[in-house]
Amino acid sequence: MSRRHVWLLAWGLAILAVPVHVQAATGNPHHGRPRHQRPAAPARPKVEAITVSAQRRDFSYPEAQNVPDADTRLTAARLIERGVVSLRGLERVAPNLTIQSINGTASTNFYLRGVGFNDFTQNNMPTVLSYFDDVPFAFSTMTDGMMFDMAGAEVTPGPVGTRHGQSDTGGEVRLRTNDPTDTWHYGARQDIASYARSRSEAYVSGPLAKGLSFRLAGQTQQGGGWQRDPLNGDHLGDANLWALRGKLKWTPDSHTTLMISGHFTQDDNEVVNGIPVHQLVGTSGLPVEGWQQTEWSMRDAFAHLIGRKTGLKPSEHDQFWGADVHFSHDFGLVTFSSISAFETEREGEYTDQDGTALAQADTYRTIDANAFTQEVRLQSSHPHDRFQWTVGAFYQRSRMQQRFFFDYTDYVPQRGYMMATHFGMDQESTSEFGNISYRFPHGVTLWAGLLHEIDDRSISGLQSVIFGGSQQDFHGESTAAAQYAGQAGVSWQAAQHALVYFKISKGFKPGGFTANNTQVQAQLDPFRPETVLTYELGLKSDPFPNRLRLNAAAFYNDYHNQQIVGTVLIPNYGPLSEITNAPKSESWGFEATLDIHPFAHLFVTQNLGWQRGNFQNFPTVNRAATNAYYAQHGVWKAIDDNFAGVDNGQPKLTLNGNAEWRQPLGPHYGLDVGPDWLYRDSQAITPGGTGFYRLPPYFLLGAHMTFHPASSHWSATVYATNLLNRRYAESGGMATTTYFYIPGAPRFVGGRISCDF
């Protein structure tokens, strides 16, 4: 048995040894007694009402304490309080989760428990799937602008797919939006902050006829640009986004529900531009700038080529829209549900990837994509029966056309031209899944699930054109996979407030293609599917109900053909990123969430994530050594290496949390005040990366103060993010001539007013 397995077993025994107080005191000394036996309320009932309201907002989802999983469940109130208005904000409220912008754009990469990969073209299945209202998004950019009028969110780490949706190796993020209501409700929220940033939301919901109700919600985002060009004083980063969502719900009887939803987003946001930190090629030197300064360029000839206006700043020009139909009917012993969805993406994105005023890596890409998904499920109708089961099937079909334009005019003598790459991708997959569980006496439950998936995808029509020069046409490639995924586990309700579980999961993720800046046919060789075998041991406990909650899990991942961004060297051209497979790798770690309510008014939440991992076999080009050889000899030569035993580069330690003091102000009002914090350890940009090849660690501190009435119909908040105004890098990457960091936002101070009736 390896040291890691010994460590994992020891950690599991340690958490089992945590003392559990089954009859610990609660915040109410009469908790558990029938209402008619309780003594009369004290003479100030209105103050009591405020106290109950405050307690209701924490230690949420008590029913989930009996569910054997490591999910992080987040209420809408927590998302608003922490300012989570996009997918990237979720890393501030969940353990072991990193969500990074790709080159400062709306596209994102996920890393959950260190599992994920950098897919700039976004034409492959993500390692962590995003769901909105149970609809999976084949391309994560499609979720842009949709995080408003939220009902809550869940983050599930590890392999998934035996109960719904698709198989995956890293996990999933499920987001829920508010449904129509049978009574009239309406509300609005206005958030104004530094750098003229404005965020506005509004909704209205109510009945249209008997059994028929609707909900309409929308948001706008404006301003907030905090970067400046030191050469001309122009500022960069202003938001310009609006989105609408509508839902129509029909319940003809108590057993049947039909929901039709539609949404639209227009995103013309300016992006966050990179700051060059190292020069790979050239002798002109890097610009010396402050952390909030960056340079960019848009040559008139390039603007004319891509059909955009001259002087265009790095920005998005995106449209996303979609519709879905949810249907369910309870037949008594079994419930049938169906989810049909169609999503589209129309993207035009300009980025200046070298971070200088020279045209060395100016990039514009267009995406025209759509995806259709269909899921059907049959499951047991009575959730309290000992025997539970689910069977279902899932189908997905996606189509994508991408075109990249590059301006290398100032990248001389190596290139000195403008070029474009175009490709199309078709994908289709089907899967069948099932899951069963049985609850035995003495609190023991066994469960097992199985999924079979077939995935076919192909890339075609790939063409690279050097304007005024040569043209290359590449033949298409295809890849197919048929794999099983599954899960088996056991849980034990050891005490009323303590659950222990162990599960083994196998995850599967199909292969795909690297299609960015293709120069030789070999770059289109598909990478292989990824599989992982995950062992997880977990604890859910409320040692002191309503005072202390501790949830924790330890995991070990055994990977085969883990999909990793490696390096390919094109002779007389330079190094390019390429998604490849590490034949063997592993990772392990733990995570925990601690909720504390030690005494009246104080509430604390702390998330902790720690993970390690290494490649056991990963032959690829050593980018750092290859770049060093070029710097010394002026010739590109691939320095091959095997990164066996090298750390996987993911942040080892992540921390986030918040504390809040909830103070009643007389019988009718309350004041909530407290700090929040985030720490993320260093992260390698390239395998084995050190120095500038690695993002530095950082710590961020925020704070808020909210004034509200006991009714909670409205609230007024002042807040600050990055209170200490720390300089930090949110993500990073490589262009043709430079390595760059995408800087994180500076201090923002703002105010928010919201009302709900």
**Nearest-angstrom CA–CA distance, 254 and 252:** 7
Sheet holding 738-743, edge to edge: 275-279, 738-743, 729-734
pLDDT tens-place string over residues 537-568 = 999 999 999 899 999 999 999 999 999 888 88
Number of helices (H) and strands (E) in the chain: give both, helices first. 5, 40
Model confidence at 678, pLDDT cuts 50, 70, 90, reads: very high
Any idea how long the chain is? 757
pLDDT tens-place string over residues 262-274 = 999 999 999 999 9
For residue 17 the two structure tokens come to 């040894």
Contact indicator for 345, 369 with CB cutoff of 8 Å: yes
Q: Looking at the domain assignment, is residue 457 inside a domain?
A: yes
Q: Looking at the domain assignment, is residue 51 inside a domain?
A: no
36 has pLDDT over 70: no
Q: CB neighbours (10 Å) of residue 296?
A: 24
Contact indicator for 113, 591 with CB cutoff of 8 Å: yes
Res 589: pLDDT: 96
21 has pLDDT over 70: no
Model confidence at 293, pLDDT cuts 50, 70, 90, reads: very high
Res 597: pLDDT: 95
In sign, the C-alpha dihedral spanning 471, 512, 516, 645 is negative
**Nearest-angstrom CA–CA distance, 571 and 720:** 50
Q: Looking at the domain assignment, is residue 40 inside a domain?
A: no
Q: Looking at the domain assignment, is residue 44 inside a domain?
A: no
**Nearest-angstrom CA–CA distance, 504 and 487:** 6
Mean pLDDT of 182-186: 97
Mean pLDDT of 723-728: 96
**Nearest-angstrom CA–CA distance, 384 and 209:** 33
Mean pLDDT of 61-71: 94
For residue 419 the two structure tokens come to 């070029």
Q: CB neighbours (10 Å) of residue 666?
A: 11
- Percentage of the chain with pLDDT > 90? 73
Res 576: pLDDT: 81
Model confidence at 58, pLDDT cuts 50, 70, 90, reads: low
Q: Which of 485, 542, 605, 575 is nearest to 163 (CA)?
A: 485
- Tell me which amino acid residue 128 is: V
Q: Average pLDDT, whole number, for the chain?
A: 89
Nearest-Å Rg of the Cα atoms of the chain is 26
pLDDT tens-place string over residues 488-517 = 999 999 999 999 999 999 999 999 998 877
Res 260: pLDDT: 98
Total number of domains in the chain: 1
Burial 730-739 (b: 16+ CB within 10 A, else e): bbbbbbbbbb
367 has pLDDT over 90: yes
CATH of the domain at 167: 2.40.170.20
39 has pLDDT over 60: no
**Nearest-angstrom CA–CA distance, 156 and 507:** 13
Range of 249-263, 466-480, 683-697 with top mean pLDDT: 249-263
Res 727: pLDDT: 95
For residue 67 the two structure tokens come to 């569910």
Say if residue 29 is preceded by a cis peptide, omega within 30 of 0.
no
- Percentage of the chain with pLDDT > 70? 92
3-state SS string over 399-453? Answer: EEEEEEEEECCCCCCCCCCEEEEEEEEEEEEEEEEEEEEEECHHHEEEEEEEEEE
Q: Looking at the domain assignment, is residue 15 inside a domain?
A: yes
Q: Identify the DSSP state of 647.
A: B
**Cβ partners under 8 Å of residue 314, min gap 6:** 104, 236, 270, 271, 273, 296, 350, 351, 352
pLDDT tens-place string over residues 739-754 = 899 999 999 999 999 9
pLDDT tens-place string over residues 691-722 = 888 999 999 999 999 999 998 899 999 999 99
Q: Identify the DSSP state of 55.
A: H
Q: Looking at the domain assignment, is residue 442 inside a domain?
A: yes
Mean pLDDT of 576-605: 93
For residue 277 the two structure tokens come to 């930190």
For residue 699 the two structure tokens come to 């710590």
What's the domain range around 506? 3-32+63-756
Overall pTM > 0.85: yes
- Characterise 146 by phi-psi region: left (phi > 0), alpha (psi -120 to 50), beta (else): alpha
24 has pLDDT over 50: no
**Nearest-angstrom CA–CA distance, 24 and 549:** 12
Which tops the pLDDT comparison, 2 or 717? 717
pLDDT tens-place string over residues 391-436 = 999 999 999 999 999 999 999 888 899 999 999 999 999 999 999 9
For residue 512 the two structure tokens come to 């795909």
pLDDT tens-place string over residues 342-354 = 999 999 999 999 9
Question: What are the backbone dihedrals phi and psi of residue 283, each rounded to the nearest 5 degrees, phi first?
Answer: -125, 5
Q: Which of 565, 581, 683 is nearest to 623 (CA)?
A: 565
Mean pLDDT of 282-292: 81
10 has pLDDT over 60: no
Mean pLDDT of 639-648: 90
573 has pLDDT over 90: no
Res 664: pLDDT: 95
Q: Looking at the domain assignment, is residue 191 inside a domain?
A: yes
